[in-house]
Amino acid sequence: MGYRYGSHTVFKIQYHFVFVTKYRYHVLKGDVAHKARELIRQTCEAFEIEMLKGVVSKDHIHILVSAPPDMA
C-alpha cells in the first residue's frame, strides 16, 4: 500500500477497527458473517474508503482501511 494523492495532498492514513459482539457471543458465522462482510464492503465503496484487510471471526471483526484526511 503506497501513498494516496488528492488535489493538494499526499497521504497514507490507515485505521484499524475492531467490532465485537455483545458478551463475545459467537454469532458471526454462516449467513450472518457473509452479510456483515457485504455490508462493510458496500459502506467502504459508498464512502470511497479502501479496505486493505478484513477478517470476520465468530465473535469479532477486524478491518484495516485507508481513508482520505477529510474523513477523520
Report the alpha-carbon distance of residue 44 to residue 30 in Å, rounded.
22
pTM over cut 0.75:
yes
Q: Rounded to a whole number, what is the largest CA-CA distance in the chain? A: 45
CATH topology of domain 13-71: Alpha-Beta Plaits (3.30.70)
Report the alpha-carbon distance of residue 72 to residue 34 in Å, rounded.
27
What is the predicted pLDDT for the residue at 1? 67
Chain segment 23-42, per-residue pLDDT in tens: 999 999 999 999 999 999 99
Amino acid at 31: D
- Residues of the chain short of pLDDT 50, as ranges, are none
| Coil/strand/helix, residue 37 | helix
What is the predicted pLDDT for the residue at 15? 96
